[in-house]
């Protein structure tokens, strides 16, 4: 049984359909990348999985539960956390406050979890009383990821975690993503740094114009000359 299954998702804004029946799966423990051109509907798909958009048709099943049309709040309780493409931190709060916000639904003492996040991102521990708005792009992204991890998700959704970062920081964010995955968290991520992302993903999906264009193991996607030419910049 897959951890996440989206089947035939039709979704959009206002009266306009952006996704015309998109499907994907994430197995437990996997890293899966979604790639494709700007405007393909990648973020729309993620929002539809997380309940920020109600699919007009199709089904989202997580951990054998049909969560189609559920609110993000209920979906978080099921074990999915989402880091949006933009505005994914509270700039006026400190790093620590941001992380504590992430734990808002935890009923237990979350100090141990905070420690775990700080061991994963030592830079954040050193600056825990700094306002998040003062941080560099890379550090902000770590705060956003850390906040999502405060809730022990089974599946983490990352929308372009490396966007706008210098190459060294892209690498760092990807290393952290791999570390998180090694703790047993499955990851579904959207990436423009597609080649780099596919190198450590297990599988990938190419989305274009609101439709599934191609799906395979990362190895096969990377070695497919036509996909390379069309979607990976040659
Ligand atoms: N809130 C919105 N209201 C109306 N249209 C939207 C909204 N958000 C996105 N769209 C439109 O939906 C289409 C798909 O957008 P989406 O953000 O899903 O693409 P994407 O694949 O994530 O692109 P990018 O790589 O630029 O992030 C685009 O045509 C976009 O203009
Ligand atoms: Mg997007």
Tell me the average pLDDT across 97-105.
89
Look at residue 36 in the predicted model and tell me its pLDDT: 96
Give the residue, by CA position, lying nearest to ligand 1 atom 31: 39
Q: Give percent above pLDDT 70 in the chain.
A: 100
Tell me the average pLDDT across 64-73.
97
Distances (CA, A) of 230 to 70, 135, 213, 225, 234: 35, 35, 11, 9, 7
User: Comparing 209 with 103, which gets the higher pLDDT?
Assistant: 209
φ, ψ at 75 (rounded to 5°): -70, -40
Q: May I ask the CATH architecture of the domain 1-79+153-234?
A: 3-Layer(aba) Sandwich (3.40)
Q: Which atom of ligand 1 is nearest to the CA of 40?
A: 21
Distance from C-alpha of 202 to C-alpha of 217, rounded to nearest angstrom: 6
* Confidence label for 147 from pLDDT (cuts 50, 70 and 90): very high
Look at residue 104 in the predicted model and tell me its pLDDT: 79
Give the residue, by CA position, lying nearest to ligand 1 atom 28: 39
Average pLDDT, the chain: 95
Give the residue, by CA position, lying nearest to ligand 1 atom 18: 41
Ligand 2 centre from 41 Cα, in Å? 7
Give the residue, by CA position, lying nearest to ligand 1 atom 5: 13
* Confidence label for 102 from pLDDT (cuts 50, 70 and 90): confident
Q: Characterise 59 by phi-psi region: left (phi > 0), alpha (psi -120 to 50), beta (else).
A: beta
Give the residue, by CA position, lying nearest to ligand 1 atom 9: 44
Ligand 2 centre from 208 Cα, in Å? 12
| Ligand found nearest the CA of 84 | 2
Q: Is residue 66 over pLDDT 90?
A: yes
Q: Which atom of ligand 1 is nearest to the CA of 47?
A: 18
Mutation test residue for ligand 1: of 35, 37, 39, the one with most atoms within 8 Å of CB: 39
Tell me the average pLDDT across 110-139.
94
* Confidence label for 160 from pLDDT (cuts 50, 70 and 90): very high
Look at residue 181 in the predicted model and tell me its pLDDT: 98
Give the residue, by CA position, lying nearest to ligand 1 atom 4: 13
- Give the model confidence (pLDDT) of 6-21 as tens digits: 999 999 999 899 999 9
* Confidence label for 230 from pLDDT (cuts 50, 70 and 90): very high
Look at residue 1 in the predicted model and tell me its pLDDT: 87
Residues whose beta carbon lies within 6 Å of some atom of ligand 1: 13, 18, 36, 38-44, 85
Look at residue 107 in the predicted model and tell me its pLDDT: 77
Find, among 180, 19, 157, the residue nearest to 88 by Cα: 157
| Ligand found nearest the CA of 38 | 1
Ligand 2 centre from 192 Cα, in Å? 9
Q: Is residue 106 over pLDDT 80?
A: no
Domain boundaries, the chain: 1-79+153-234, 86-151
Mutation test residue for ligand 1: of 6, 15, 24, 43, the one with most atoms within 8 Å of CB: 43
What residues have CB less than 8 Å from 156, skipping those under 6 apart? 80, 81, 82, 83, 145, 148, 149, 180, 185, 186, 187, 188
Distances (CA, A) of 211 to 26, 66, 195, 232: 18, 22, 21, 17
């Amino acid at each position: 049984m897959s951890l996440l299954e989206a089947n035939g998702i039709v979704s959009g804004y206002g009266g306009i359909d952006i996704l015309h029946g998109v499907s994907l799966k994430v197995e437990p423990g996997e890293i899966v990348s979604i790639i494709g051109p700007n405007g393909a509907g990648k973020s729309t798909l993620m929002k539809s999985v997380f309940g920020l958009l109600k699919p007009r048709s199709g089904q989202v099943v997580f951990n054998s539960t049909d969560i189609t049309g559920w609110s993000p709040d209920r979906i978080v309780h099921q074990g999915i956390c989402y880091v949006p493409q933009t505005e994914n931190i509270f700039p006026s709060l400190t790093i620590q406050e941001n992380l504590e916000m992430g734990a808002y639904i935890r009923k237990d003492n979350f100090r141990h979890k905070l420690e775990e996040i700080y061991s994963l991102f030592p830079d954040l521990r050193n600056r825990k009383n700094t306002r998040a708005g003062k941080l560099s792009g890379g550090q902000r992204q770590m705060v956003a990821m850390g906040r999502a991890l405060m809730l022990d998700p089974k599946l983490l959704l990352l929308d372009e975690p490396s966007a706008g970062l210098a190459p060294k920081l892209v690498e760092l964010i990807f290393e952290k993503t791999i570390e998180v995955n090694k703790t047993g968290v499955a990851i579904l991520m959207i990436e423009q740094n597609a080649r780099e992302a596919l190198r450590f993903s297990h599988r990938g999906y190419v989305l274009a114009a609101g439709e599934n264009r191609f799906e395979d193991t990362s190895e096969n996607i990377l070695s497919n000359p036509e996909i390379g030419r069309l979607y990976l910049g040659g």
